[in-house]
Structure 1
Amino acid sequence: MPISLIEDLRTYVLQQACAIQAIPAPSLRESQRASYLKEQLIQIGLPEVIQDEVGNVLACLPGGSGAPLLLTAHLDSVFSEGQNLSLSRSESKITGPGIGDNALGLAVLLGIGLLGAQHQWHLPGDLWLVATVGEEGHGDLKGMKAIVRRFAARPVAYLVLEGIGLGRVVHRALAVRRYRIHVRAPGGHPWAAREIPSAIHTLIAIAHELLHVPLPASPRTVINIGVIQGGVSVNTRAPEAWMDMELRCEEETPLENLEVEIQRVLRQYRGWGRGISVDLLHMGNRPAGSIPPSHPLVQKVRLCLAQFGIDATLEQASTDASAPLSQGYPAVCIGLARGGRAHTAEEFIEIESVALGLRQVVCLIQNMWD
């Protein structure tokens, strides 16, 4: 069916979002979902569809000799391969894990590709549709970092799509550093070997001290311990334990200072007991960067949203836009629909709002080279 109206396009996009959501795609294990996106882009009839060395899927709608525009959405989900991905649908919303973050974003990539192909768009520059790997969790922006290396400063802009958050415009990137602290000990019986140190006891002591490190109020800085694992049984002194921790800040420098403090704390626990080893593993570095609210790209997004009666909310966050922003390249991350409960089984998108999100994206594409 020719795509001629936004309502028709919304129907196609929602069908695709439901199909994409049903394909498991944990970070750095997105190959099945990537294959589906690649197949759909080929079926649309785009002349160039490729998959790069890290697993990103790229498709080009050829344009004129102007700078290219990149429209991106991440392939991965926070949910494991064993997650129940059942969806429910009412007249007003679709609910299910990952439907907004980021099945809808990927579906809009397909929708824009279909619209451009059927209407034979010839934009001032090439339009690249890019599905990236490794945005969530320990993915460390692997896909988007590769895209930025590939395109560098050539694009007129990097437009990053997230399914939830219509009106949200992320033009500032948070600095995020992720670590794993791994403790090993001899282990043993809790009574017979009560003098032998426990890896879990040591890790708890480390965590307690790190959570009491003074943090600056400005720039805002947070420490979060997201995962703790270890031990063998209730009646064993744990031979191994580890925790995943992240630091977030509005700027880079406080995180550099915090890492020095983390190293100081770990040094004192490395000699805490016989046979204890404490290792710090760097798991990710999501860089800071920004463009100002007065930047032409931010102003274009605000104007497009205003056309549809939506007030833009300018925000700072860690998204795929962090990679180009950290290099000084024009980039924003924008939301496509109203919704909520992201990263839970109750995640949802409001069906009616998707049409507004699509209008926003089409408006931006049409005005990007002005």
Structure 2
Amino acid sequence: MDARKPQAPIKGRGAASYVDGRYAKTVARGEDDGWGSVYEDLLEPPHPDTRVTEERARSVVSRNDSPDVGFSQSVNPYRGCEHGCVYCFARPSHAYLDLSPGLDFETRLYAKTNAAERLQAELARPGYRCSPIALGINTDSYQPIERRYRITRSLIEVLSACSHPFSLITKNAAVVRDLDLIAPMARRGLVTVYFSVTSLDNKLSARMEPRASAPHARLKAIRALSEAGVPVGVMVAPTIPMINDRELEHILEAAREHGAGAAGYVLLRLPHELKQIWREWLELHYPDRAAHVMSLIRQMRGGKDYDSTFGARMRGEGPFAQLIAQRFAKAHKRLGFGRLPPLDTGQFVPPRKPSPQGELF
């Protein structure tokens, strides 16, 4: 028995182990002392609790020039994500904190409690140029701890007060809590929402994304937003060969039926430590097809586990990737999907810069 290999999945968690981060200064390894103690410990998988550290951010607006995404600015109210999606491309970012992209990513979370204050200060800068802000791109803005911290809501309040456009993508139906802010902004062309729907199978969803909203709850949230006048779309992301790719058309049909007006998809991405986390998950949940799944993934990535090249990392290459693209295009046209309306940057009114004298007038 390999003392380093996880022997069972952990209920309520996506990752199965504390995969070492690529910048780790110290690395822990299990070694049998001859009494079988290492193996006994592995019979009982860890059950780590969620721990949240409150932090004061110096800045919250991140900028990028990637041609693969439709935004240049983003704000992430949290670091780490309790949803625990095993496939999350953001997991390797926890290595910068000297934490594991595995279990630490979904249990050791950071809440930027001054995010709204820092955002307002950024928008008030004289040189600021309005461009739509994407909320929660690296980690989900509506992950479970948002119920307690309400940082995402505070950010939307700032954006609403100065008529700043924004978009968001989420796996959590909790977004409907903020319809009182989102719906009025939507009527003014200031907000769009995408839902990530990876599977309609409750069991598969619970394995891949254990603390995200169930598929039917996401569909209900799509309908609630659509009926409130919010432009809403669906992302089948990630699309994974031999795991959920067969559901592509069914997800698009269900989302369209519930009011989604636009749709997209992204192939599974495996940067850095995510390769090991994903392989562990496959071996634990689908040992009979793990090798075949990885073979198809490599066929779509030029013979590698992952290709980060702009233009290819979202769609892949090769016959299987082309087949998925063709299936998506056919379903997209048949179901009458379009595009979400562009966001209006012309209404932006910079907030007043905070003054030590307060608001006298």
Calculate the TM-score normalised by the size of structure 1. 0.24
Bigger-Rg structure (1/2): 1
> Which one scores higher on RCO, CA 8 angstroms, separation ≥ 6?
1
Q: Please identify which structure carries the higher strand content.
A: 1
Calculate the TM-score normalised by the size of structure 2. 0.24
